[in-house]
Amino acid sequence: MICSEPIVNVMNFFTPLTSIFPPLLLTTENNAENAPIVLTGVLLSLVVIYLASKIGGELSRIIDLPPVLGELVGGVLVGASVLHLVVFPESGATAGDSVIMTVLQTINNLTPDAATAIFNSQSEAVSILAELGVIILLFEIGLESDLKELQKVGYQATIVACVGVAVPFAAGTAGLILLFHAPVIPAIFAGAALTATSIGITSKVLSELGHLKSKEGQIIVGAAVIDDILGIIVLAVVASLAKTGEVDIFNVIYLIVSATVFLIGSILLGKFFNHTFVAIANKLQTRGNLVIPAFIFAFFMAFLGNAIHLEAILGAFAAGLVLDETDKRKELDEQVKPIADILVPVFFVTVGAKVDLSVLNPVVPENQQGLIISLFLIVVAIIGKVVTGWSIFGQPGVNRLAVGVGMIPRGEVGLVFAGIGAASGTLDKPLQAAIVIMVILTTFLAPPLLRLAFKKSVDASESLEKADLIG
Amino acid sequence: MICSEPIVNVMNFFTPLTSIFPPLLLTTENNAENAPIVLTGVLLSLVVIYLASKIGGELSRIIDLPPVLGELVGGVLVGASVLHLVVFPESGATAGDSVIMTVLQTINNLTPDAATAIFNSQSEAVSILAELGVIILLFEIGLESDLKELQKVGYQATIVACVGVAVPFAAGTAGLILLFHAPVIPAIFAGAALTATSIGITSKVLSELGHLKSKEGQIIVGAAVIDDILGIIVLAVVASLAKTGEVDIFNVIYLIVSATVFLIGSILLGKFFNHTFVAIANKLQTRGNLVIPAFIFAFFMAFLGNAIHLEAILGAFAAGLVLDETDKRKELDEQVKPIADILVPVFFVTVGAKVDLSVLNPVVPENQQGLIISLFLIVVAIIGKVVTGWSIFGQPGVNRLAVGVGMIPRGEVGLVFAGIGAASGTLDKPLQAAIVIMVILTTFLAPPLLRLAFKKSVDASESLEKADLIG
């Protein structure tokens, strides 16, 4: 009724800004016709992604779980596993598999070729928004990681972090190779996915329990910070190994050295740059006077991370660490929040959406291997972190169980591993889904377990006090 | 030294999230190799865009001009006219013309085919960010447009707005057809580009002069608000005419009616939706509890605007107007700001970057027509708005000149016209550049002229007071 026939061609006046499809694929004419439909597709995808992230996140919060978990599950629901609203060509989907594309096709009477081109362009745009999301997420994590806090808990946190990386990595990789006869590279990748601890989830749960400033809390947060840095180095190392297809010891050394030099070097250089940054931000008086210089720095570091053959998110994280040391930190953090709020969910939801959980359907016989692997990974993930509590020395009375349990949630970084491993083809579908399930379950289990562990702590410290009184 | 030969292939571990080039264009292998380079290209482009916008904006501010002007000029400098850092395939550039692509090619040893594919994908990503930028800009303008403010100045503002749209449009279009023998459609498009007034620039200048709350200030702001709405309707109408290639009176009526119904309908429906929105935002307790529902609404309205054959920015503007009426308005405005700060400059800089000012080089004989047209447009743009002051009735003592001069700056919406007209092929290069020059100059001239006009006002009111005393 509103859209009468003669004006079907009228709608596309937003053409110019999108009309840059690869010329080999489309004629200029198709281009001009399809471009606003790509924009429409991106807008609809974002609406679906935001709805999934918000509904999932809020439901998670209501049942007392970290919101990021709900965003991931929301992504699984709207993605390839269930509703097919947000699907991607790289996981084998075609335009016909996408419900959003079906809507666009109904509105616009597209030819199959045009639909495929629009589907690809729209998916690429959403993926680049997701990448910017993960870059901003790591920038924000860097911005929230306090190096000074770390120095207080010193060696304890470092040892907990190192043990918490080494044990799950070694046990996971060895177990996959020896028990499940997995190829070396995917086994290493899956083992590496077991290493990282989520700063965000851990510190949020600790503050909810009122234990953020306790000795245990400080060690956990300190270790989670170091763990995050180690996790990113491990990710860079492992992903590069996956790329070359073999374990080249020089590559490993080069990557560990360059990642460390890059991270520490940028922090040291940052001591000087800090003042320049604050001076610049103070001089600027137009809108975005703080956030734009910060993003110039973050994106340039991300570019540099890529250019020296490491990775974009490592650069963004280093940029965050550097700017965390300025007295603009709080103001900047405040401004980065809304930007992260609208871009980071795109990352989490698309990670969930790209996972096809049907490979873990236990009814299908060939899936049973994946399920067994999944169980194995979860056990290693939990035990590998819990043991870290017993690596603490010279701290009598510390709640070792609570520290270990506090390191369990994998959260964001674990999902980064799954996302990268999945689409690079390193991880086959069962292994990829097994990692996502491991991340979901460790994140699920950590809050109630941590509550239990700290309850024990109260009992223990009470009996300790009694022992002191007796002694 | 850092990038030793054997590990060149190592760098691309961020592959998975970008590996979605159109399959017809690239093999899967090329895909996986190119994807992180696309990300690198987008990051470098954003660094250049942000530098251009910030340096341009700040220099503008120092010489007391609106920052948006500097962003545009910064875009011209980094774009096709001068530095060739940010160029686009749709304006005829190839990968070899782009300095950023040359940098990427040097780092990565790309084949020409791969370079072309990366250039296209990277440009498409930047263009989609620019589109999201203009959508968020219009959402923000809607959010800052106060319907209540408007009701106070009532008819006066409406008449000023209507005259300020009709006169420049009629004079510009007629002049281009009669004096320059321009074809009808481009003439109408260029005439339409003369209609819009920049709320942002006008209200900023008024507040700097301390005249925001004066009678003149209220009429100007009110008229600028209505003008913005009229401008968007005119844009939708004209752009659709440009699409069909002919002046179809039913199209015009359909578009005016549907734009008006859409805008007014969404405002009326918004009265109810308002409460739902506030209730939802109050119930949500995870991060982004305000900004994500707002963006779901804005992007859905933008989608709807496109789907009923109008346009995305009209929907975003309507969404802003609706949410402006909630008591969450201030908080939301605060959170949308940083998001706009990082996305809107992408739009302004790319608009500038897509303009090739070389067509206005007076040394080349065939450019002289364009320069004469440019002069003509500027004269019409200024006179067409200044006369609006004399359309005010029943308001003795009002500074008619100041009201007229306050309507002169074209700003954002004028650039939207130029950007859309440029790449849709409706405007040829001289006409497109002439419009951009008109926007730049009207924005340049308005602040000093407005200062002069209000100085007159002081003298006039002093003599009026004297007259009162004598009377």
Q: Do B424 and A335 touch (CB under 8 A)?
A: no
Same domain, B82 and B181: no
Instruction: Report yes or no: A327 and A341 within 8 Å, Cβ to Cβ.
Output: no
Higher pLDDT, A21 or B308: B308
CA distance B311 to chain A (A): 7
Residue A467 lies in a domain: no
In Å, what is the CA distance from B403 to each residue of A223, B222, B320, B396?
Answer: 63, 11, 26, 13
Q: How many CB atoms lie within 10 A of CB A299?
A: 28
Please judge whether B124 and A123 are an interchain contact, meaning their C-beta atoms are less than 8 angstroms apart.
no
State whether A147 and A101 are in the same domain.
Answer: no
Q: What is the C-alpha to C-alpha distance for residues A22 and B89, in angstroms, rounded to an integer?
A: 9
* Cα nearest neighbour of A6 on chain B: B251
Helix H, strand E, coil C: the string for B152-185 is: HHHHHHHHHHHHHHHHHHHHHHHHHHHHHCCCHH
Instruction: Choose the final residue of a domain: B103, B128, B153.
Output: B128
pLDDT greater than 80 at residue B294: yes
Contact A303 B17 (CB under 8 A): no
Same domain, B269 and B222: yes
Decide if B6 is inside a domain: no
pTM of the model: 0.79
The answer to whether the CB atoms of B285 and A58 lie below 8 A apart is: yes
Q: What is the pLDDT of residues B306-352, one digit of tens each?
A: 777 677 877 888 888 788 878 888 899 899 999 999 998 998 898 88
Residues B288 and B292: their CA atoms lie apart, in Å, by 5
Q: Do A296 and B54 touch (CB under 8 A)?
A: yes
Question: pLDDT-derived band of residue B106, with 50, 70 and 90 as boundaries?
Answer: confident
As given in the structure block, the two tokens for residue B320 are 């802003």
Does the pLDDT at position B217 exceed 90?
no
* Residues B361, B400 within the same domain: yes
Same domain (yes/no): B85, B185: no
List CB contacts (< 8 A) between B338 and chain A.
288, 291, 335-339
The model's confidence at residue B13, banded by pLDDT at 50, 70 and 90, is very low
B113 lies in the same domain as B152:
no
Our CA-based measurement puts residue A32 at a distance from the nearest CA of chain B, in whole angstroms, of 7
A173 vs B67: CA distance, rounded Å: 56
H-helix segments, A312-367: 312-324, 329-354
Is the Cβ–Cβ distance between A407 and A444 less than 8 Å?
no
**What would the 3-class secondary structure string for chain B be?**
CCCCHHHHHHHCCCHHHHCCCCCCCCCHHHHHHHHHHHHHHHHHHHHHHHHHHHHHHHHHHHCCCCHHHHHHHHHHHHCCCCCCCCCCHHHCCCHHHCHHHHHHHHHHCCCHHHHHHHHHHHHHHHHHHHHHHHHHHHHHHHHHCCHHHHHHHHHHHHHHHHHHHHHHHHHHHHHHHHHHCCCHHHHHHHHHHCCCCCHHHHHHHHHHHCCCCCHHHHHHHHHHHHHHHHHHHHHHHHHHHHHHCCCCHHHHHHHHHHHHHHHHHHHHHHHHHHHHHHHHHHHCCCCCCCHHHHHHHHHHHHHHHHHCCCCHHHHHHHHHHHHHCCCCHHHHHHHHHHHHHHHHHHHHHHHHHHCCHHHHCCCCHHHHHHHHHHHHHHHHHHHHHHHHHHHCCCCCCCCHHHHHHHCCCCHHHHHHHHHHHHHCCCCCHHHHHHHHHHHHHHHHHHHHHHHHHHHHHHHHHHHHHHHHHHC
Percentage of chain B beyond pLDDT 90 is: 18
Same-domain status, B281 and B342: yes
Residue B120: both structure tokens together: 């296209």
Residues in chain A: 471
Q: How far is CA A125 from CA A131, A138, A332, B341, B441, in A?
A: 10, 20, 27, 20, 35
What is the distance between the alpha carbons of residues A373 and A428, in angstroms, rounded to a whole number? Answer: 12
Query: Which of B306, B310, B429 to substitute to test the interface with A, most A CBs within 10 Å?
Result: B306
User: How many angstroms away from the CA of A462 is the closest CA of chain B?
Assistant: 35
Give the pLDDT confidence score for residue A416 in this predicted structure.
Answer: 72
User: Rounded to 5 degrees, what are φ and ψ at A179?
Assistant: -80, -40
Contact across the interface for A127 and B20, Cβ inside 8 Å: yes
Residues of B in contact with A50 (CB under 8 A): 292, 295-296, 299
Q: Is the C-alpha dihedral spanning A329, A335, A341, A344 positive or negative? A: negative
The number of C-alpha atoms within 13 Å of B157 and in the hemisphere containing its C-beta is 25
Residue the block writes with tokens 């067509």: B359
Q: For the purposes of burial, counting CB atoms within 10 Å of the CB of B334, is it exposed (0-12), middle (13-18) or buried (19 or more)?
A: middle
Out of A19, A88, A131, name the one closest to residue B90 (CB).
A19
Same domain, B214 and B123: no
Cα of A457 to nearest chain B Cα, Å:
29
Interface contact flag, B22 A46, Cβ < 8 Å: no
Q: Do the chains contact at A345 and B288, CB–CB below 8 Å? A: yes
**Cα–Cα dist A399/A389, whole Å:** 8
Mean pLDDT of the B210-228 span: 77
Distance between CA B92 and CA A128 in Å, rounded?
24
Do the Cβ atoms of A306 and B124 come within 8 Å? no
Residue A428: per-residue pLDDT: 80
CA atoms of A452 and A402, how far apart (whole Å): 8
Is B166's pLDDT higher than 90?
Answer: yes
Across A219-241, average pLDDT: 76
CB atoms within 10 A of CB A185: 18
Instruction: Yes or no: say if B435 and B442 are a contact pair by the CB < 8 Å rule.
Output: no
A417 sits in which H/E element: helix A411-423
Q: Which of B7, B8, B13 to mutate to test the interface with A (most CBs of A within 10 A)?
A: B13
The answer to whether residues A181 and A306 belong to one domain is: yes
In this prediction, residue B370 has a pLDDT band, given cuts at 50, 70 and 90, of: confident
CB B233 within 8 A of CB B251: no
Within a domain: residue A18? no
Q: What pLDDT is attached to residue A322?
A: 85
Quickly tell me which residue has 């006369």 as its tokens.
B387
The residue in chain A having the minimum alpha-carbon distance to the alpha carbon of residue B288 is A341
Q: Report the residue from B3, B6, B419 with minimal CB separation from A17.
A: B419
User: Does some domain include residue B73?
Assistant: yes
A17 vs B contacts (CB less than 8 Å): 127, 130-131, 134, 350, 419-420, 423
CA distances from B470 to A214, A368, B397, B459, B464 (A): 81, 101, 16, 17, 10
Tens of pLDDT, residues A32-48: 457 778 889 999 999 99
Cα–Cα–Cα angle for B231, B252, B196, nearest 5°?
10
**Distance (Å, rounded) from C-alpha A140 to C-alpha A420?**
20
Q: How many A×B Cβ pairs under 8 Å?
A: 337
A395-399, B60-64, B185-189, B236-240, range with the lowest pLDDT: B236-240
pLDDT value at position B23? 30
Residue B22: both structure tokens together: 């159109």
Is A236 in Cβ contact with B43 (below 8 Å)?
no
Residue A1 lies in a domain: no
Contact (CB<8Å) B16/A335: no
**Nearest by CB: B291 against A60, A293, A341:** A341
Q: Are A440 and A348 in contact (CB under 8 A)?
A: no
Of B9, B131, B345, the CB nearest to A39: B131
CB-neighbour burial class of residue B396 (10 A; exposed 0-12, middle 13-18, buried 19+): exposed
**Which of A54-63, A249-258, B72-81 is predicted least confidently?**
A249-258
The packing angle between helices A112-144 and A99-108, to 10°, is 130
The answer to whether the Cβ–Cβ distance between B39 and A312 falls below 8 Å is yes
In a domain, B467, yes or no: no
- Partner-chain contact A338 B288, CB within 8 Å: yes
Q: Which residues of B touch A332 (CB under 8 A)?
A: none
* Distance in angstroms (rounded) separating the CA atoms of residues B59 and B70: 7
Q: How far is CA A322 from CA A101, A148, A311, A439, in A?
A: 43, 12, 17, 29
**CB A420 to CB B16 under 8 A?**
yes
CA distances from A245 to A173, B36, B114, B436 (A): 16, 18, 23, 53
Please provide the average confidence, as pLDDT, over all residues in chain A: 78
Q: Do A273 and A358 share a domain, yes or no?
A: yes
Domain count, chain B: 2
DSSP state, A367?
G
**Nearby residues of A188 by Cβ (< 8 Å), 6 or more positions away:** A173, A238, A241, A242, A247
Q: Which of B94, B128, B162 is the last residue of a domain?
A: B128
Q: Which of the 8 DSSP states describes residue A3?
A: S
pLDDT score, position A449: 85
Distance in angstroms (rounded) separating the CA atoms of residues B237 and A308: 50
- Statement to judge: residues B103 and B147 lie in one domain: no
B150 Cβ contact partners less than 8 Å away, ≥ 6 residues apart: B157, B222, B225, B226
Neighboring chain B residues of A6 at a CB cutoff of 8 Å: 248, 250-251
Residue A9 belongs to some domain of the structure? no
Q: Which of B54, B243, B307 sits opposite A40 (nearest CB)?
A: B307
Residue at a domain's end among B76, B99, B128: B128
* Three-class DSSP category at A241: helix
Token digits of residue B84: 């060739």
Q: Is there a single domain that holds both residue A390 and residue A288?
A: yes
Domain that holds residue A432: 136-462
* pLDDT over 60 at B215, yes or no: yes
Note the residue count of chain B.
471
pLDDT tens for B261-288 read 887 787 787 778 888 888 888 888 888 8
What pLDDT does residue A144 have?
A: 74
Whole-number Å distance between alpha carbons of A120 and B128: 14
Is residue A158 in a domain? yes
Cα of B155 to nearest chain A Cα, Å: 31
- CATH, residue A442: 1.20.1530.20
Predicted confidence (pLDDT) at residue A15 exceeds the cutoff of 60: no
The answer to whether the CB of A343 falls within 8 A of the CB of A136 is: yes
- The band of A50, judged by pLDDT with boundaries at 50, 70 and 90, is very high
Cα–Cα distance measured from residue B24 to residue A114, given in angstroms and rounded to the nearest whole number: 12
Torsion of CA A310, A315, A321, A324, to 10 degrees: 180
